[in-house]
Chains A and B, each alone.
Chain A
Amino acid sequence: MTNISRRGLLQAAGSLGALSSLPLALASTEAKQPLGHVVVVGGGFGGATAAKYLKLLNPELAVTLVEPNETFYTCPFSNLYLGGIREWDQIAHNYDELKNDLGVQVIHSLASAIDTQGRQVTLANGEQLSYDRLVLSPGIDMRYDSIAGYDEQAAQLAPHAWQAGEQTKILRQQLEAMPDGGLFVMVAPPNPYRCPPGPYERVSLIAHYFKEHKPNSRIVILDAKDAFSKQGLFTDGWQKHYPGMIEWISLSNDGKVVRVDAANKEVETEFGTIHKADVLNVIPPQQAGAIARQAGLTNASGWVPVKPHSFEAELAEHVYVVGDATIAAPMPKSGFCANSQAKVAAAAIVASFAGIPAPSPFFTNTCYSLVAPDYGISVAGIYNLDAEGNLQEVPGSGGLSPREADDALRRSEAQNAHRWYNAICQDVWGTKA
C-alpha cells in the first residue's frame, strides 16, 4: 500500500496543472475542526478519484465516500478477461488506500435518495448524511425500455457486460460453453454511450479467444451507428489477425436491433431480419445512473448537464457530477476522462471552501484498445474551455495511431495499454493490478 508523503502530495497537486494556482497554504494548515463535509457518491473512476484528491488537496475536509461494493471491478481490461488473457482478480480494486491512508470515511451502502435543497443523502442502510458539497459519479444505467424484450431479466441470459461484475462473468461462461463453430452476436449501442471503442475492442479480444480455442466460430456486430471510434484501425487489425471472422452490419445496412428474444438468443432488426446467436451480448442505449435522475440533475436527454469550468451540476447548487453520467462531449465517456474531471471538480470544491475562484481547467484522455494481445491502438486528446467557456478539444492536441505501422509500434502500444491501466488504477485506488 502506498504511503503518501507530504512531498508526494505536493507533487501530485503540482502534476495536476489545473491546481497549480491554488495557494499551497491550503494543504498545510493543521486540521482541527473539519472545514466542511464533502459526500462522494460512487467509488468508481470518478468518485474514488474525487475522494482521494479532495483529501490530498485539503486534509481539513471531512470526506465520506458512499459505494455499495467492497471490491470494484474495472470495465477497462474486462475485455481482456473475456478474451482469456487476464484473470478476474487482476481487474479487482479496493478502498484500503482511501480508508487507511487518506482518512476518507467509506460507507458500503447505496445512496437511495438525494435532497439537493436540504443537502441530505439517504442511504439504503437507513443512514442520513448531510453535506456541504456533494460529488456524484454514479456511472451509467441501461435504458431497459429502449429495445423491446430487453430488460433486467433478459440481461441474465443475454448479458450487456457493460458494468463489470456478475454480467462480465456470465458472458465469459457463455463464451466458454459455446461449441466451436458457434455464432457470437453483439448488439452495439447508439451514441452517446460508455467507452466508444469498447464494443470493438471486446469483439477483437473475443475473436482472439475464438482463434485460439474455437477457430470455426464467427462474430456478427449489429450496430445502431454508421461509423465508430478508431474504425479504420480496428478493421485493419481484424483483417490482419482474424480474416473472415468478423462481420460488421451498420445502421444503414439494417444493423439496428429493435427486439430481443433473450431466451432464444434471437434478435430482430428494424427491417425484420432475424439473427440467431449462440452467445448474445446486447449493449443497450444508456443514461446517467439512477441516483442522478432521482436527484433531479438530468435533463430530457437522461444525462447530467454540467458547468464545464468546475463540473458543478447545472440543475442544483453545491453538487458536482463527473464521469459517464455527465454531458461532457467532445470528451468521451472514459475512465480516464472521469479521473480527469474528478480532479477538476476536487480543485473547484477546495477553491470554493477557500473562497477563491476555481482554477482554469484542462483535461486529458487516452483510450487504448487491444486488437490482439500484442497489437494495441490508441486515440488521445487534451481538452480545455473555448472562448465561450464550452469544452473543446485543444486544436492540434489529439492523435490517433497511424494506419500504416509495423508490428513493433503495435506491440509497444499494447505495452503502453498495460502501463496506462496500472498507472490509472494506482492513481484512483492506490492498487496495483
Chain B
Amino acid sequence: MNIRPLLFACCMAGGWSLAGWQQIPAIEQLLQGTEPQASELTLNLPVFVEDGAAVPVSIQGPGWSGAEPEDWLTRLLLFADGNPNAEVLEWQLHQPQASLDLHSRIRIDQSQSLWLLSQSQTGEWFVQQAAIEVLASGCLVPLDSLDTQGMTNPRVISRAIDGAPGQYQVRTLINHPMDTGLRQGPDGELVPRRIVEQLSLSLNGEPLMDVRLHGAVSANPFLQMQITGSSQDELALLWQTSDGQSLEFSQTLP
C-alpha cells in the first residue's frame, strides 16, 4: 500500500499527526508547544540490522511543504529515541531545494524509533517516524579507526543526476573516529568526546547547507545530499571538529 498520498491528504486537512515524539525532551524543547503536521518526506531505514555501527539512513521528498514560495524547508532534524543522546543530525538549508535526498550512516545501539522533524521557512513543523530493530548489539568501533587523532582522507564525489537537469548528487566521507565520550579505551579510561561537529557546503561562495553531526553519526562520517547547481559551479566543503580542527575541500561541479 502506498501511504504517501494518504499522509499528504491528512496533512492538508491539518487534523492528523504522529504520536510518540512527545516523550522525547529534545523534540519537546524544539517545538515549544507547536503541534507538528505529518511530513511528506520519507525516512528510510532497514527493517532490522545485525550491527548497529553504521546503519544507512536516508530522507527523500520534495523540498517544499506546500504550494507557496515561502513553504520551502529550511531545517531538518533527526532524533533517535533509544540512543543515550537523542540528537543525531541536523541539516540547515540556506537555499531552497526542489527535492531532498539526504543520506548518512548512523549508530543505533538498540531497537527504537527515529524521528524526523522538518520546518518550513514560515515556521511550520512536520514530523515523520520510522522504526528499526537491532538484533545483535552494535557500536563496534572499526579496528582501523581507533588510533586516528584527527580528520584524514576527505573524499568527495559530485555528479549530475540523470534526467534531472540542474540537480547534482554530492557524496562525502572523512576518516575520523567520532568518539562519543562513552567508550572505554584499551587502558580502561573513557576516551574523551571528540567528534566532527559540522560540515558546511557552499556554492560559488554562497552558503548552501550546514550539516550538524552528533555522536550518533558513525565513525568516518558519511554524508550525501542532492543540490541544485550548474556545471563549473565551485562547490566548497568545510568540516569542523569539536576540538577546533577544520579541513577544507573544493571541487568544480562536472
Residues on A facing B (Cβ under 8 Å):
191-192, 225-227, 231-232, 250-254, 270-272, 299-301, 327, 329-330
Of B24-32, B43-51, B229-237, B242-250, the one contacting chain A is B43-51
A selection of 9 A-B contacts at a CB cut-off of 8 Å is: A191-B49, A226-B219, A226-B220, A227-B142, A251-B54, A252-B175, A254-B155, A272-B157, A330-B135
Which residue of chain A has the shortest Cβ distance to B105 in the bound complex? A251
Least distance between A390 CB and chain B CB atoms (Å): 9
Provide the residues of chain B in CB contact with A271, threshold 8 Å. Answer: 155-157, 171, 173
Provide the residues of chain B in CB contact with A191, threshold 8 Å. Answer: 49-51
User: By the criterion CB–CB under 8 Å, are A252 and B219 in contact?
Assistant: yes
B144 contacts the other chain (Cβ, under 8 Å)? yes
User: By the criterion CB–CB under 8 Å, are A250 and B144 in contact?
Assistant: yes
> Contacting B47 at CB < 8 Å: which of A231, A253, A301?
A301
> Contacting B50 at CB < 8 Å: which of A192, A254, A270, A300?
A192
A301 CA / B145 CA spacing, docked (Å): 30
* Chain B positions 144-168 with a Cβ under 8 Å from a chain A Cβ: 144-145, 153, 155-157
Provide the residues of chain B in CB contact with A250, threshold 8 Å. Answer: 142, 144
User: By the criterion CB–CB under 8 Å, are B173 and A254 in contact?
Assistant: yes
15 more contacts with CB within 8 A, not counting A251-B54, A330-B50, are: A191-B50, A225-B51, A226-B140, A226-B220, A227-B51, A227-B140, A231-B143, A252-B145, A252-B175, A252-B222, A271-B155, A271-B156, A271-B157, A327-B135, A330-B135
A327 CA / B134 CA spacing, docked (Å): 11
Provide the residues of chain A in CB contact with B173, threshold 8 Å. Answer: 252, 254, 271
User: By the criterion CB–CB under 8 Å, are A329 and B142 in contact?
Assistant: no
Interface SS of chain A: loop
User: By the criterion CB–CB under 8 Å, are A252 and B142 in contact?
Assistant: yes
Least distance between A16 CB and chain B CB atoms (Å): 25
Least distance between A101 CB and chain B CB atoms (Å): 38
A250 CA / B136 CA spacing, docked (Å): 21
User: By the criterion CB–CB under 8 Å, are B48 and A301 in contact?
Assistant: yes
Provide the residues of chain A in CB contact with B142, threshold 8 Å. Answer: 226-227, 250, 252
Chain B contact residue count (CB 8 A cutoff) = 25
User: By the criterion CB–CB under 8 Å, are B46 and A227 in contact?
Assistant: no
B88 contacts the other chain (Cβ, under 8 Å)? no
A270 CA / B143 CA spacing, docked (Å): 21
Closest 8 CB pairs of A and B: A329-B135, A252-B220, A226-B142, A301-B47, A330-B136, A271-B155, A191-B50, A329-B50
Provide the residues of chain A in CB contact with B213, threshold 8 Å. Answer: none
User: By the criterion CB–CB under 8 Å, are A227 and B143 in contact?
Assistant: yes
B53 contacts the other chain (Cβ, under 8 Å)? yes
Which residue of chain B has the shortest Cβ distance to A330 in the bound complex? B136
A270 CA / B222 CA spacing, docked (Å): 11
A254 CA / B156 CA spacing, docked (Å): 11
Least distance between A335 CB and chain B CB atoms (Å): 18
User: By the criterion CB–CB under 8 Å, are A270 and B51 in contact?
Assistant: no
Which residue of chain A has the shortest Cβ distance to B219 in the bound complex? A252
Least distance between B197 CB and chain A CB atoms (Å): 19
User: By the criterion CB–CB under 8 Å, are A329 and B48 in contact?
Assistant: yes
Question: Beyond A227-B143, A252-B219, is A301–B46 a contact (Cβ under 8 Å)?
Answer: yes
A86 CA / B155 CA spacing, docked (Å): 43
Provide the residues of chain B in CB contact with A300, threshold 8 Å. Answer: 47
Provide the residues of chain A in CB contact with B155, threshold 8 Å. Answer: 254, 271
A197 CA / B42 CA spacing, docked (Å): 35
Least distance between A396 CB and chain B CB atoms (Å): 15
Least distance between B11 CB and chain A CB atoms (Å): 23
Which residue of chain A has the shortest Cβ distance to B47 in the bound complex? A301
Provide the residues of chain A in CB contact with B145, threshold 8 Å. Answer: 226, 252
Among B50, B153, B175, residue most surrounded by chain A Cβ atoms (within 10 Å): B50
Which residue of chain A has the shortest Cβ distance to B136 in the bound complex? A330
Which residue of chain B has the shortest Cβ distance to A270 in the bound complex? B171
* Chain B positions 45-104 with a Cβ under 8 Å from a chain A Cβ: 46-51, 53-54
A252 CA / B222 CA spacing, docked (Å): 8
Provide the residues of chain A in CB contact with B153, threshold 8 Å. Answer: 253
Provide the residues of chain A in CB contact with B54, threshold 8 Å. Answer: 225-226, 251
A232 CA / B144 CA spacing, docked (Å): 11
Provide the residues of chain B in CB contact with A301, threshold 8 Å. Answer: 46-48
A327 CA / B133 CA spacing, docked (Å): 11
A327 CA / B50 CA spacing, docked (Å): 10
A227 CA / B145 CA spacing, docked (Å): 11
Among A252, A253, A271, A300, residue most surrounded by chain B Cβ atoms (within 10 Å): A252
Provide the residues of chain B in CB contact with A251, threshold 8 Å. Answer: 54
Provide the residues of chain B in CB contact with A226, threshold 8 Å. Answer: 53-54, 140, 142, 145, 219-220
Which residue of chain B has the shortest Cβ distance to A226 in the bound complex? B142
A125 CA / B48 CA spacing, docked (Å): 37
A232 CA / B146 CA spacing, docked (Å): 14
* Chain B positions 189-226 with a Cβ under 8 Å from a chain A Cβ: 219-220, 222
A225 CA / B55 CA spacing, docked (Å): 11
Least distance between A329 CB and chain B CB atoms (Å): 4
Which residue of chain B has the shortest Cβ distance to A391 in the bound complex? B135
A300 CA / B44 CA spacing, docked (Å): 11
Which residue of chain B has the shortest Cβ distance to A224 in the bound complex? B54
Which residue of chain B has the shortest Cβ distance to A254 in the bound complex? B155
Which residue of chain A has the shortest Cβ distance to B51 in the bound complex? A191
A302 CA / B125 CA spacing, docked (Å): 33
